[in-house]
């Protein structure tokens, strides 16, 4: 059955982005340190068109996180471009160029209506102004039997989590401190909305915690 | 060589105690959930004079945390009793009765001078008003070749960590949310003062992260 999933990298002190996030530096100061564990992996390099790399305990976790995704939901900030209404003549078309790596329907949460955008390789962007439940309903329909990925940012993942709409989350816990920035769980309260830890995979530079409904 | 060590249980969202800490409820609301992983262990039950219990991946971690401790440093709140000056005639003598489980010298950080207190079984409490470095110096001398344990509370552990005086910390990460309370790393900034992850032990209800200087 179709599940709603997200994965996110988080520091030991709970931050998923450093301070000073901006269009130029979407991860914030120091935020790149949350992702360094992935860069040497062959599976990560291959996703980005690079050869070589290594395999370790994280490899199957990353492979699983990429598999069986039929649709993606993301926030407007992750889609990118300047805030506010879309430019009528030359609207921002995302970070990913003519052939984005999704290859399936993507639903972008925004306050500003815009017609759908179809790009190469099977990626379509649909702009949803009716909120998180409407976006998820459209994404579930598009995904069919496959899963829906919440691509982020963290605020979007947290909104779905708090609404009890997440079936699986993978926390990639990185053993470092960021000290400030954006916390995944700020305002999420003291329960995990039915999710519980179902698997722990420890690698040298990251520990993967999978939460799911039993 | 003698090391300064502490261990602490922390929620996935970074809290080491719940909200509403008080003398009656030192762990705060929900804080007991951070320690439930330990209760079924035979090694924990034996420490508290109980028989039976189980062994799992956490057992050697707990055993190691108890071994080779020659002295302990703790804060006044952990020692307990009412805040402010000691009652001159019937001062508080700690939570642990006539024969406390330390069996070695304990140094209590306090703003209120008091003479030493010797109890049964080799436990002595020395009250230190000159700050964390003075307390540590006395504890190191008392410990000799053995290690010094920072027993807490969290604020004391954080002060020593930020001062760069900790050689080893064991974070028992519990896969739950507390939502609010006291955070271990609040105000600790973005670096671990020379500590790095050296070992991860995953059990079903807790993951033990050991940090040390390489």
Three-state SS string over A47-60 comes to HCCCCCCECCCHHH
pLDDT at B23: 75
pLDDT band per the 50, 70, 90 thresholds, residue B47: confident
Q: Is the ipTM of this complex over 0.95?
A: no
**Min CA distance, A124 vs chain B (Å)?**
35
**With pLDDT > 90 as the criterion, what percentage of chain A qualifies?**
86
Average pLDDT, chain B: 94
pLDDT at B8: 97
The mean pLDDT of A143-159, rounded to a whole number, is 95
Least confident of A77-91, B140-154, B177-191, B198-212: A77-91
For residues B107 and A200, give the distance between their C-alpha atoms in angstroms, rounded to a whole number. Answer: 38
CB pairs under 8 A between A and B: 78
Q: Which residues of chain B neighbour A12 with C-beta distances below 8 Å?
A: 14, 171, 185, 209
From chain A, which residues contact B within 8 Å (Cβ)?
12-14, 18, 30, 171, 173, 175-180, 183-185, 188-192, 196-197, 200-202, 204-205, 207, 209, 211
Give the pLDDT confidence of B119-176 residue by residue, as tens digits. Answer: 999 999 999 999 999 999 999 999 999 999 999 889 999 999 999 999 999 999 999 9
Q: For B19, which residue in chain A has the nearest alpha carbon?
A: A190
Give the pLDDT confidence of A82-110 residue by residue, as tens digits. Answer: 788 998 888 899 999 999 989 999 999 99
Least confident of A22-36, A62-76, B170-184: A22-36
pLDDT at A176: 97
Please answer yes or no on whether A197 and B175 come within 8 Å at the CB atom: yes
Residue A191, judged by CB atoms within 10 A of its CB (0-12, 13-18, 19+), counts as middle
| Mutation to test the A interface, candidates B12, B161, B199, most A Cβ within 10 Å | B12
pLDDT at residue B24 is higher than 80: no
pLDDT at residue A32 is higher than 80: yes
Report pTM: 0.93
pLDDT at A174: 98
Kindly report whether the peptide bond that precedes residue B153 is cis, defined as omega within 30 degrees of 0. Answer: yes
The mean pLDDT of A130-157, rounded to a whole number, is 96
Extract the runs of DSSP E, i.e. beta strands, from B39-167. Answer: 69-75, 105-109, 117-118, 124-128, 147-152
- Considering CB atoms only, which of A175, A177, A184 is closest to B209? A175
Kindly report whether the peptide bond that precedes residue A153 is cis, defined as omega within 30 degrees of 0. Answer: yes
């Amino acid at each position: 059955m179709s599940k709603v999933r997200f994965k996110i990298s988080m520091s030991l002190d709970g931050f998923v982005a450093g301070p000073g996030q901006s269009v130029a530096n979407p991860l914030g100061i120091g935020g790149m340190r949350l992702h360094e564990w992935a860069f040497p992996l062959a599976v990560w390099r291959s996703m980005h068109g690079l050869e070589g790399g290594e395999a370790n305990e994280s490899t199957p976790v990353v492979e699983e996180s990429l598999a069986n995704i039929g649709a993606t939901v993301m926030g407007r900030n992750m889609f990118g471009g300047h805030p506010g209404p879309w430019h009528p003549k030359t609207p921002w078309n995302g970070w990913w160029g003519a052939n984005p790596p999704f290859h399936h329907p993507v639903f972008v949460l925004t306050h500003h209506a815009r017609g759908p955008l179809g790009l190469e390789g099977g990626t379509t962007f649909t702009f949803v102004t009716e909120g998180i439940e409407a976006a998820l309903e459209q994404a579930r329909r598009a995904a069919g039997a496959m899963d829906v990925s919440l691509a982020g940012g963290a605020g979007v993942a947290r909104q779905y989590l708090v609404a009890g709409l997440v079936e699986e989350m993978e926390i990639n816990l990185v053993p470092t401190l960021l000290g400030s920035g954006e916390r995944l769980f700020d305002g999420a309260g003291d329960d995990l909305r039915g999710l519980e830890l179902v698997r722990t995979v420890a690698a040298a530079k990251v520990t993967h915690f999978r939460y799911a409904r039993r």
